[in-house]
Structure 1
């Protein structure tokens, strides 16, 4: 079931439930099932850009990918059971696909990353069918020829599950605009998960993840790329969250 978090309908679900829904859809669902994630950065971007909020909210499943989002949802009165991160969904869904004979396609990330991630997945799951990998050039979605070439490559591979690893909001806009043209049964927006899977970025220890400080771990690894995002742009999350709590739970808030 979905719950409104700062204007974004987020699913109250577990990682296992998302994996099962994805695999059930591969087996018998109609049309593409889109799975997106909502983290602190996306809440801030959605607050600043109503169109992005609409695009993000259009996902069939929108997971709470970040402990601050989970905590805020709980403070607002929803029973979010856990954080559901793309970096957890990718290996779990890949393992399930290997067991059931389904195929996956890895799309996005920097040159060579998708190939390295695919190699690690095959090493862990020799039975996994990797239908293809593709790292399109930066800005491909604004070039009609490059865009059509990318869409055609995925369609020709006809994967059961497509992992899309682009930066927000490009990733969400791409999935929302081209879900049907891609031809995959299930499409997941997974952000930097391929970099972690490929070993280019180290995942934070589980304790760091549970305490909601994974952003500090990532900042320490990629300070030049992430400093502005984490220390400047995403600092607005505290103000947005406080305003939402005041509106929904403060004096004068509606009892319903």
Structure 2
């Protein structure tokens, strides 16, 4: 089942997938309106995602079940415009999180965060409370390395998220594990809107800087990130990313290998 993007202000078709062309607020609204059972996952596609979709069937399944997909990476926006979608727009994890804070507690309800560090969790909890969220409505966990492969831990964590009454789950532990884990847990999570937004949580906590606006507009945000973590990001940006050009040239269908969502 490929998600209906009609409620997200139109859609852009690339690689056999439909991406929302709405604003961050539009995307949140569309995800909440989804009638599919289980979590309403929002994925933010970049070049690395497209390359990974080619190789990872579990990631393709997560993209298939996503309530909404957005174009995060500027190369995808440029490609969409070249293919005739002149109004294609970029919506990043930062944009989605900004939209969450702009809406306020009445819209988002109860928030659960999977963070990369305790510091990020504590800072963001204080930020949500300062924005008007009741302290009891905000919770976080720092999952251990490899948590996505630990089935027992995954069941306990999913149960804690559902017991919390979570209506907004923020996944800040990176792709593709965030998307795959949320998709595999399925109904065990309840029916929260799930934002798979990775480093955006650390940026929102003030622990990691974001590229200047001009670099963002020029599509050079990757270069800013690379300058901060060259050893970790070299292979991604200078080896794997070239595969995107091949996939873009072939316009290969990366649409999903659909399967029943675990627990759904």
Give the TM-score taking structure 2 as reference length.
0.81
User: SS of 2:232's equivalent?
Assistant: helix
1:13-162 mapped onto 2 (5 Å cutoff): 13-22=22-31, 25=33, 31-100=38-107, 102-123=109-130, 125-127=131-133, 130-162=137-169
Which one has more relative contact order, counting CA pairs under 8 Å at least 6 apart?
2
Paired residues of 2:30 and 2:68 also in contact (CA < 8 A)? no
Paired residues of 1:106 and 1:162 also in contact (CA < 8 A)? yes
Partner of 2:219: 212
Kindly report structure 1 stretches of 4+ aligned residues shifted beyond 6 Å: none
Give the TM-score taking structure 1 as reference length.
0.84
Aligned length: 242
CA apart distance, 1:16: 2.8
Cα 1:3/1:220, change in 2 over 3 Å: same
User: SS of 1:191's equivalent?
Assistant: coil
Segments of structure 2 that go 5 or more residues without pairing to the other structure are 1-9, 253-264
Partner of 1:11: 20
User: SS of 2:207's equivalent?
Assistant: coil
Equivalent-residue separation in structure 2 for 1:114 and 1:173 (angstroms) = 22
User: SS of 2:41's equivalent?
Assistant: strand
CA apart distance, 1:99: 4.8
Paired residues of 2:104 and 2:132 also in contact (CA < 8 A)? no
